[in-house]
Amino acid sequence: MSALDVILSGTMLAQTARMTIPYGCAALGGVLSERSGVVNIALEGTLLASALAAVAASHASGSALVGIAAGVTCGAAVGLVHALLVVRGRVDAIVSGIALNLVAAGGTRFLLRALYGSSSNSPRIQGLRFGEGWGLLARTLLDPFLLTTLAVVGASAWMLARTRFGLRLRACGEDPSAAQAVGVHVVGMRTAAVALGGAVTGLGGTALAYDLHQFQAGMSGGRGFIALAAVIVSGWRPWPAAAACLAFAALDALQIVLQNQTKLPSQVLAMLPFVATLVALVLVSKRRGGPPAGLGKHPA
Amino acid sequence: MKLTSSRSLPAAVAGLAVGWLAFCVLVWLYGASPRAMAGLVLEGTWGTSYGAGQVLFKATPLLFTGIAVDLALRAGLFNIGAEGQLAVGSLAAGVIGAHLPSGTPALVALPLALAGAMAAGALWALVPALLKGRFGAHEVISTIMMNRIADSAVGLALGAGGLALTGTVRTADVVPGARVARLDTWLPSLKGSAASFALLFGIAGTFLVTESYRRTRFGREIGLIGQNARAMAAEKVPVRARLEQALVVSGAIAGAASLGTVLGYKGYFEEGLGAGAGFGGLAVAILGRGSAVGLVFAALLFGTLQQGGLAVNAFVPKELMDVLTGVVVCAVALADEAIGRHSAMARRTAAETVVS
Amino acid sequence: MVVPDTGRVEAFGSRLAPHTPREAIRRGVGMVLQHFALVPVFTALENIVLGAEPVSALGVIDLASARRKAEAVAKELGVDLPLDATVESLGVGDRQRLEIARALFRDAKLLILDEPTAVLTKGEVLALYATLRRLADAGTGVVVVTHKMDEVRAHADFVTVMRRGEVLFTREMDRSAGADVDAQVDEVTAAIMGAGAAKPGTRDDKPEAATEKGREVVLSLSRVSVGRALSDVSLEVHAGEIVGVAGVEGNGQRELVAVLAREVHPDSGEVTGASAAIIREDRQVEGLVLDATLRDNAVLGELGTFTNKVGLLDLGALEAEAATRIARSGAGADLDRTARSLSGGNQQKVVVARALARVGAKRARALVAAQPTRGVDIGASHDIHARLREAAAGGAGVLILSADLDELRALCNRVLVLARGRIVADLPPTTSDEELGRRMLGVADPNARPEAAS
């Protein structure tokens, strides 16, 4: 098979779809947090922590659903900690994010040893049993995680645009002082938004682990940061962010799928998503869609 | 400028106290005895001269990256890219050091290798610097991307680029002139440890850089920009150029960390050498905060944690120390904020009594 | 928004507790602040409902019913509200009407407006008062905080005068046939400007500022316009002269300083003269790095002059210069103190000393001082005035923008009046408080033709 055939194959499509889920969930988590005015670079750590939580819970309980619940809850917990540090403690959001990432990276390895005695892999889990015997296309497009992610993206977009919670959330992000002046409880809203975003990211981490059927140390692989870039280039909007994630996921998949196809060293392919991110950052610099005006600001 | 900031010390102490608490809790949860583990840590680090030497060895690159991140922080920038800058700097040091004529005297070889390392680090930081200056791209994302790209780029250079010895992931040995001697040639008690004179370079560099915050135009201006960029812009200081320069200089210093790993320890570059020092540098900078003494202390502290992790690894995973690092960073930042706000209130009340 | 130290606030007969914006709104008090609390990227309708959204199932905002109520409010106000336009696309007049509509949407029974006409055109002012009159007639209480006496003359039923934090009196305007409204307004003006009030402290009142005017023009603006803030402004400052620009804050002063500092290009007209040393209005944001030492602040932005070819600073020279400047400023001798630790007056002294040093070193021929003694105690003000006089005596041209007439009168050779972005008068310092006040407050010169009114 030529390289082109491989690129256009079903495998590529399936891989892309699967990879979009963690990117997309992390990006959505970033959107929710930043639209409320809180910078969140702990998406990477959240993915990692929730992946382990999902694996550990599903391994211990034998139930995939319990694992999903654990992953989502863990994500929300990380978000909550970040929110408390930044919104209430007024710690610099980036310092908090870096620290949380450090704790997640070290903590997951620590727990890996504690629970399973390995420093790199957890035991295999079954993940979500679904679509036995179906064709590749059906299994890809009807993957529950994919469908859930799409539903959550849609729900978030709808929530931001149409509900009271969404209006107030956006107000906190655009002008926290004005929001405060008209009676919106900015601290509470921001905490809720970041925790909610963490929960969504947790879903992505769970999907990541279930996809590989185990937890591997460092398995988030920088996707949390790329997701952040997706948030920025999409103008902090759910559907465009998801689309950007699709593009990044395609690059990710390309790298895997092309590995044996070209003479390009594997490292060049591995670099692609990250270089693409830099390029994307440059391309959007002159665009209109800037960050929420109140990002990083505390109410007066 | 005073060498110590009176605000940071209580915050550092508070942070360490929280760190100690976290250590006890985590060890206890794991099922081991905190006291026993603490004892092992002390024994494995400062308890023996080999251990002490290893602590010094591990602290050395942390000192460089700590200074690098601290410099960027002074200007209000977050250089998360020390990891990548260190990697490419180390590669450069290894390659240059290996390609010099074998008889090159140390006076020539060492500065050349070092200069190459710093140039590589600077170049690696130039990309995020320009992206920020010209396109407003936030340096947090771009520096992290550069880290990941560095991983691949270094591997590429070693493999397809032919810089590695065939069949390995390491470069050739550097010429003797480019080596930095081990400390145990000087202090025999440290025999066997990997600590080298690079540590002294690092300490000297720390004091040099913190002095430059006072003595050079560049150092003074970036500090003032970090505190109030608007006022500086109003005074027609070239703020954007200074920010770009700060990031580049920060990268150069991070690249210099290769003194301790490549030139001082292995004598060649190996893929993965020095990994973790970039993020450790962040912790050092946040804890040490602009004071040379503070930075050295913080580097020694985190070096101790790293070495201590190895000592307890049989009983409690060494990754515990990474968790502690994160916890301490959070705690110090939180304490800093709380104390800062408290004293700001106190200052304001005091000032109000001055104005009649 | 601000909790009083002593005393109590009552709304509609009962104490306002808890003392929060939310509670005040709930009781029926609506505020329209000078800086609108509007989210720029939201539509008008979204801004109206924010915080008081009508919701249906699942928390979805019931936009339909919100729209109905908003339209009803607009009708009550007698205005046309573009509900679907984003706030950032609306002009100031529309935004203000939006703020009022929002207060009414929340069933406000009392409406308080803070300096509502500061940025409105004449036509918009009339429209606003027409709206307010409608509201008042319908039973809503309306309080307008203003310094514009023409509005008081035309619209006020009751007038309360405050000066320096105290209420002087409240009076009902007598508008019956035969009543002399002008006299009542004059009385109010006098009370505001403090005629008859004891002047605190001693001031150097001698207009000894009539120094010899060199003929050389060191700074000039020729027909400069900037957006809606400045229109057709021309002025000249000669060497050795102190020129004052009197005006209440918000009439174009910021833009004037920005143009003089060469930070903003005028839409039309030109700025000539060498660069001026600027003493900025907001010393804490633009004038000083609060957390830096006095040493650094004294020479802020001038590090280049102390740098040798290698980039090292001549610390001795820097110390000497900083010490000289701080000593001459009178702000105290310890160079290691941070600017934040100084009182407002001393902070200002540092900023002034720095600017004057640049004038003294002949790097600048002109000095622009914006509100140089605002928030500064008497003693420090006195010192600063002496410095400004010295600068002029040394040959520099000085331009002072201030709302403090005593200050301008004590220092200046002549006083320009800036009102609503135009220079409306050029008066000698001997002009009376009343006359200056009238021109600053936008009251027409009774002797001038109607078009000359600002």
* Site from B91, B140, B289, B302 to mutate, A interface, most A CB atoms within 10 angstroms: B140
Give the CATH number for residue A17.
Answer: 1.10.3470.10
Q: Is B335 on the interface with A (CB under 8 A)?
A: no
Query: What CA–CA distance (Å, rounded) separates B263 from B57?
Result: 12
Residue C158 lies in a domain: no
Residue C32 lies in a domain: yes
Q: What is the average pLDDT across B290-318?
A: 89
Angstroms from C20 CA to nearest CA on chain A: 8
pLDDT band at C198 (very low <50, low <70, confident <90, very high): very low
Q: Which domain holds residue C23?
A: 10-145
pLDDT of residue C448: 46
pLDDT band at C3 (very low <50, low <70, confident <90, very high): confident
> What is the phi/psi pair of residue C220, to 5°?
-155, 150
Give me the percent of chain C exceeding a pLDDT of 70: 91
Residue A128 lies in a domain: no
Q: What integer best gives the mean pLDDT of chain A?
A: 89
Task: Assess whether C235 and C358 both reside in one domain.
Answer: yes
pLDDT band at C371 (very low <50, low <70, confident <90, very high): confident
pLDDT band at B146 (very low <50, low <70, confident <90, very high): very high
Task: Assess whether C252 and C105 both reside in one domain.
Answer: no
Residue A269 lies in a domain: yes
* Site from B334, B341, B345 to mutate, A interface, most A CB atoms within 10 angstroms: B334
- Using the predicted structure, report yes or no on whether residue C242 has a pLDDT greater than 50: yes
Token digits of residue C202? 């001693």
Token digits of residue A116? 């399973």
Give the bridge partners for C144, in sequence order: C113
Q: From chain B, pick out residues whose CB is under 8 angstroms from the CB of A252.
A: none
Which residue did the predictor score with more confidence, B2 or B314? Answer: B314
Most confident of B157-171, B286-300, C5-19: B286-300
pLDDT of residue B185: 75
* Site from C264, C302, C303, C312 to mutate, B interface, most B CB atoms within 10 angstroms: C303
pLDDT band at C202 (very low <50, low <70, confident <90, very high): very low
pLDDT of residue C203: 41
In this prediction the ipTM stands at: 0.86
Give the total number of structural domains in chain A: 1
Q: Which of B218, B224, B234 sits opposite C292 (nearest CB)?
A: B224
What's the CA angle centered on B111, arms B106 and B112, to 5 degrees? 100
Token digits of residue A249? 């996921």
Instruction: Please judge whether B215 and C313 are an interchain contact, meaning their C-beta atoms are less than 8 angstroms apart.
Output: yes
Q: Are strands C414-419 and C242-246 parallel, antiparallel or unpaired?
A: parallel
pLDDT of residue A286: 65
Residue A199 lies in a domain: yes
Give the total number of structural domains in chain C: 2
Q: From chain B, pick out residues whose CB is under 8 angstroms from the CB of C307.
A: 216-217
pLDDT tens figures, A176-193: 989 988 888 999 999 999
SS3 label, residue C223:
strand
Q: From chain A, pick out residues whose CB is under 8 angstroms from the CB of C25.
A: 182-183
Token digits of residue A154? 């849609």
Token digits of residue B29? 């949860």
pLDDT of residue C281: 84
pLDDT of residue B353: 44
Domain end: C118, C145, C172, which one?
A: C145
Q: Give C93-120 as a DSSP string.
A: HHHHHHHHHHHHHTT-SEEEEESTTTT-
Ramachandran sector of residue C178 (left: φ over 0; alpha: ψ -120 to 50; beta: rest) = left
- Using the predicted structure, report yes or no on whether residue B166 has a pLDDT greater than 80: no
pLDDT band at C204 (very low <50, low <70, confident <90, very high): very low
Angstroms from B6 CA to nearest CA on chain C: 13
Angstroms from B262 CA to nearest CA on chain C: 30
Instruction: Please judge whether A265 and B325 are an interchain contact, meaning their C-beta atoms are less than 8 angstroms apart.
Output: no
pLDDT tens figures, C125-144: 888 888 889 888 888 899 99
Q: Which of C138, C92, C94 is nearest to C119 (CA)?
A: C92
Task: Assess whether C411 and C279 both reside in one domain.
Answer: yes
Q: What is the average pLDDT across B327-337?
A: 89
Q: What integer best gives the mean pLDDT of chain B?
A: 86
Instruction: Please judge whether C39 and A181 are an interchain contact, meaning their C-beta atoms are less than 8 angstroms apart.
Output: no
Instruction: Please judge whether C55 and A162 are an interchain contact, meaning their C-beta atoms are less than 8 angstroms apart.
Output: no
Amino acid identity, position C177: A
pLDDT tens figures, A139-175: 788 889 999 999 999 999 999 999 999 999 999 999 9
Q: Which domain holds residue A92?
A: 3-122+137-283
Give me the percent of chain B exceeding a pLDDT of 70: 94
Give the CATH number for residue C300.
Answer: 3.40.50.300
Q: What is the average pLDDT across C230-237?
A: 90
Please say whether the dihedral angle defined by the alpha carbons of residues A136, A141, A144 and A145, taken in this order, is positive or negative: positive
Residue C70 lies in a domain: yes
pLDDT tens figures, A15-28: 899 899 999 999 99
Q: From chain C, pick out residues whose CB is under 8 angstroms from the CB of A171.
A: 39, 42, 50
Which residue did the predictor score with more confidence, C68 or C197? Answer: C68
Residue C161 lies in a domain: no
pLDDT band at A243 (very low <50, low <70, confident <90, very high): very high
Q: Is A232 on the interface with B (CB under 8 A)?
A: yes
Q: From chain C, pick out residues whose CB is under 8 angstroms from the CB of A182.
A: 21, 25, 37, 50-52, 102
Evaluate whether C298 touches C321 at the Cβ level (below 8 Å).
yes
Q: Which of B216, B227, B235 sits opposite C292 (nearest CB)?
A: B227
- Using the predicted structure, report yes or no on whether residue C206 has a pLDDT greater than 70: no
- Using the predicted structure, report yes or no on whether residue A45 has a pLDDT greater than 90: yes
Token digits of residue A217? 């140390």
Q: Could you identify the residue written with the tokens 């908003």?
A: C70
Q: Give A229-250 as a DSSP string.
A: HHHHHTTS-HHHHHHHHHHHHH
Q: From chain B, pick out residues whose CB is under 8 angstroms from the CB of C342.
A: 351, 354
Q: What is the DSSP letter of C406?
A: H
Minimum Cα–Cα distance from A88: chain B residue: B334
pLDDT band at C283 (very low <50, low <70, confident <90, very high): confident
Residue C207 lies in a domain: no
DSSP run (H or E) holding C163: strand C158-163
In order of their start, the domains of chain B are: 8-354 (1.10.3470)
Which residue did the predictor score with more confidence, A82 or B135? Answer: A82
Domain end: C97, C114, C145, which one?
A: C145
* Site from A163, A165, A167, A237 to mutate, C interface, most C CB atoms within 10 angstroms: A167
Q: Which of B230, B232, B355 sits opposite C344 (nearest CB)?
A: B355
Please say whether the dihedral angle defined by the alpha carbons of residues C230, C231, C234 and C235, taken in this order, is positive or negative: negative
pTM: 0.84
Instruction: Please judge whether B330 and A92 are an interchain contact, meaning their C-beta atoms are less than 8 angstroms apart.
Output: no
Minimum Cα–Cα distance from A177: chain C residue: C37
Minimum Cα–Cα distance from C264: chain B residue: B234
pLDDT of residue B4: 34
Evaluate whether C331 touches C353 at the Cβ level (below 8 Å).
yes
Q: List CB contacts of C200: < 8 A, sequence separation 6 or more.
A: C378
pLDDT of residue B173: 83
Residue A17 lies in a domain: yes
Angstroms from B330 CA to nearest CA on chain A: 6
- Using the predicted structure, report yes or no on whether residue B27 has a pLDDT greater than 80: yes
Angstroms from B337 CA to nearest CA on chain A: 6
Task: Assess whether C286 and C397 both reside in one domain.
Answer: yes
Q: What is the average pLDDT across B155-160?
A: 84
pLDDT tens figures, B78-131: 999 999 999 999 999 988 888 888 888 888 888 999 999 999 999 999 999 999
Domain end: C96, C128, C145, which one?
A: C145
Token digits of residue B338? 């709380």
Task: Assess whether C306 and C441 both reside in one domain.
Answer: yes
Q: Is C303 on the interface with B (CB under 8 A)?
A: yes
Token digits of residue B88? 């490419």
Task: Assess whether C138 and C230 both reside in one domain.
Answer: no
- Using the predicted structure, report yes or no on whether residue C380 has a pLDDT greater than 70: yes
Window B:243-282, CB contacts with A under 8 Å: 279, 282
Residue C182 lies in a domain: no
Q: Is B287 on the interface with A (CB under 8 A)?
A: no
Instruction: Please judge whether B220 and C291 are an interchain contact, meaning their C-beta atoms are less than 8 angstroms apart.
Output: no
Residue C336 lies in a domain: yes
Q: What is the average pLDDT across B232-252?
A: 94
Query: What CA–CA distance (Å, rounded) separates B69 from C375?
Result: 39
Residue C363 lies in a domain: yes
SS3 label, residue C92:
helix
Residue A298 lies in a domain: no
Evaluate whether A29 touches A198 at the Cβ level (below 8 Å).
yes
SS3 label, residue C166:
strand
Give the bridge partners for C426, in sequence order: C416
